[in-house]
Amino acid sequence: MAKGRAHPSKRPTHQLLLAAALSVSVLLPLLVPAAATVAVAEGDGVSALGGGNQLAVGKDEGKLVTEGGAGGGGSVEEDEFAGGFGSLDSMLQWAIGNSDPEKLKEEAADAQKLSEDELLKRRQEIKELMEKLKMPSDADLMKIAIDDLNNSSISLEDRQRALQELLVLVEPIDNANDLDKLGGLLPVIQELNNANEEIRTTSAWVLGTASQNNELVQNQILGYGALARLVKMGYSTSTEEAAKALYAISSLIRNNVNGQEAFHSENGSAMLQHILVSNNIDVRLQKKAVFLVTDLADFQLNSGIAQLPFLSDRLFLKSIVNMLSRFDLDLQEKVLLAIKSLLKLSSTDVEDYEFYDLNNVLLRLGVQLEDLTPEDQKEFAVEVDALRREVQTLFQQKLKQAHS
């Protein structure tokens, strides 16, 4: 299997060491007071590193994505030998820490003896070297990752690395908007069908990150028909795959009428209900599902548009109410918030909640919160109980209105 090609961000070690050495021998002495008296012609594009100024050597230089396990979030760290000097200052810090102090003194003394012309020449050498070491733009890095995704011969490891790079690159909204222009959105969507679970999971993660609070990208992804595949992934027995699929779905349909209609058309409510009622589902995934229900209900309340039918479906509501029997304070709080929002919908038939004995469920929850809560969770339990009382009052008000 072909190896992934070397990326521009992975610069040769000897170049970086040369830059660091030049920094020590030329730039470090310029920081001492004696060197400050040497006049340097302005306009050459290089700062004297005084007053906190730094010479930029490339945008977000040295940022590499690392994956902390299948369910870990992407993180960014500096790696000197992969191009991790974000500025001349950081290069100097590295060089100082890896140099002989006595030799540094000698270099500083020699540099102070240089003439103005010699200093200018040495500074120009540094400038030219730093230009050669510049990081490519975000767009260039995105193109490289996209090319890798389009290369059917690369290894799974390199394919995963390309997706992880895109995961970081699409966080800024401008980069996310460029993903489709650069031809990258469709290849990422196609990876949702990859036989490898980790590839599918990361692809969903990229789509969720790119579309979050971004109507343009939301509609682009919806236009490619990716929602259907994401809904199917929500049934996955892998908690991580299902969680990232649910994250992508939430990002796609949040505050997006077309997305919510498509979610309903793809029977997304059945996927949510599957997560809510299954005993072997990780509670963290159930919390995400309940949070999405609340988000959808709140959007219906605030937008005034036609409400999603499944939010008033009897069986769906039953699965929500039954979640209150799970003794997990965080889950119970999220379920109470969902019920509170659902009760406010004009399409809600409060008698459905009466049918499922919501009032007694809430009373039993109150007893549980008072008597069975561990000591270290008492404060949180008080907050949850206050929310429980609020939901109970709202429910009784709605019942009174319905029976009057």
Which tens digits make up the pLDDT trace of 123-140?
888 777 777 767 688 999
Supply 183's token pair: 């031809």
Supply 141's token pair: 């890095």
Distance of CA 162 to the CA centre of its chain: 16
Q: How many domains does the chain fold into?
A: 1
- Is residue 192 in some structural domain? yes
pLDDT one-digit tens code per residue, 275-300: 999 988 999 999 999 999 999 999 99
- Is residue 165 in some structural domain? yes
Count of Cβ atoms closer than 10 Å to residue 281 Cβ: 16
- Is residue 17 in some structural domain? no
Q: How far apart are the C-alpha atoms of 192 and 214, rounded to whole Å?
A: 20
Distance of CA 282 to the CA centre of its chain: 21
| Length, in residues, of the chain | 404
The alpha carbon torsion through 207, 208, 212, 215 (nearest 10 deg) reads: 40
Contact 142, 184 (CB under 8 A): yes
| pLDDT band with cut points at 50, 70 and 90 for residue 352 | confident
56 forms bridges with which residues in the sheet?
87
For the chain, the C-alpha Rg in angstroms (whole number) is 29
Residue-level pLDDT at 392 = 94
- Is residue 163 in some structural domain? yes
- Is residue 116 in some structural domain? no
Q: How far apart are the C-alpha atoms of 193 and 234, rounded to whole Å?
A: 13
Q: Which domain holds residue 132?
A: 127-235
Q: How far apart are the C-alpha atoms of 80 and 15, rounded to whole Å?
A: 11
Mean pLDDT of 322-333: 92
Residue-level pLDDT at 125 = 82
Q: How far apart are the C-alpha atoms of 365 and 371, rounded to whole Å?
A: 10
- Is residue 209 in some structural domain? yes
* Collapsed DSSP state (helix, strand, coil) of residue 399: helix
Contact 320, 290 (CB under 8 A): yes
Q: How far apart are the C-alpha atoms of 225 and 223, rounded to whole Å?
A: 5
Gap between the terminal Cα atoms of the chain: 73
- Is residue 7 in some structural domain? no
pLDDT one-digit tens code per residue, 64-121: 333 333 333 333 333 433 344 545 555 566 666 767 778 777 777 777 777 888 888 8
Residue-level pLDDT at 376 = 81
- Is residue 65 in some structural domain? no
Mean pLDDT of 369-374: 81
Q: How far apart are the C-alpha atoms of 271 and 268, rounded to whole Å?
A: 5
Q: How far apart are the C-alpha atoms of 391 and 343, rounded to whole Å?
A: 9
Q: How far apart are the C-alpha atoms of 76 and 66, rounded to whole Å?
A: 7
The CATH code of the domain that includes 210 is 1.25.10.10
Contact 110, 24 (CB under 8 A): no
